[in-house]
């Protein structure tokens, strides 16, 4: 079973749409959770951390359900510039902070 699983997409949405990405992780010792963004052939960049209480950053909302081992990312009012691959990332307790990446979900926002 993959450590971090994501729907690969692509999600093709019009500008202004709301889109949601899901992610599940298999290791119950997973400690910290993040969403990264990766543009084509570029490095991953941290979008936001994900906290148990849920957190919001502008148009982006992240949720964590530890019992179900499930993480989500909601993007409201999609912009053309949101087109990218969104990576679900976890760290494991005692794991020297190595990042464990999902394969990513591709988002394409069209006019």
Partner 1 sequence: EPEVTQTPSHQVTQMGQEVILRCVPISNHLYFYWYRQILGQKVEFLVSFYNNEISEKSEIFDDQFSVERPDGSNFTLKIRSTKLEDSAMYFCASSEGQRSYNEQFFGPGTRLTVL
Contact in structure between 21 and 104 (CB atoms under 8 Å): no
Closest CB 80 distance from partner 1, rounded Å: 23
User: Could you give the angle at the alpha carbon of 27 between the alpha carbons of 96 and 11, nearest 5°?
Assistant: 100
Closest CB 65 distance from partner 1, rounded Å: 18
Site string for partner 1, 12-41 (x = CB under 8 A): -------------------xx-----x--x
Q: Is 95 exposed, middle or buried (0-12, 13-18, 19+ CB in 10 A)?
A: middle
Map the footprint of partner 1 across residues 37-96, applying CB under 8 A: 38, 41-46, 49, 87, 91, 95-96
Kindly provide the b/e burial profile for residues 16-36, where b requires at least 16 CB atoms within 10 angstroms of the residue's own CB. Answer: eeebebebbbebeebebbbbb
| 100 lines the binding site for partner 1 (CB under 8 A) | yes
Nearer to partner 1, 97 or 111 (CB): 97
Under the rule (CB under 8 A), what is the footprint of partner 1? 31-32, 38, 41-46, 49, 87, 91, 95-104
């Amino acid at each position: 079973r993959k450590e971090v699983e994501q729907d690969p997409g692509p999600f093709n949405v019009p500008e202004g749409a709301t889109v949601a990405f899901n992610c599940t992780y298999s290791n119950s010792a997973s400690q910290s959770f993040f969403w990264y963004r990766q543009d084509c052939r570029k490095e991953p960049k941290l979008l936001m951390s994900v906290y148990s209480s849920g957190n919001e950053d502008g148009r982006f909302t992240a949720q964590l359900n530890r019992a179900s081992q499930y993480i989500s990312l909601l993007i409201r009012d999609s912009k053309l510039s949101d087109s990218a691959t969104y990576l679900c990332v976890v760290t494991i307790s005692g794991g020297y902070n190595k990042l464990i990446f999902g394969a990513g979900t591709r988002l394409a926002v069209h006019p």
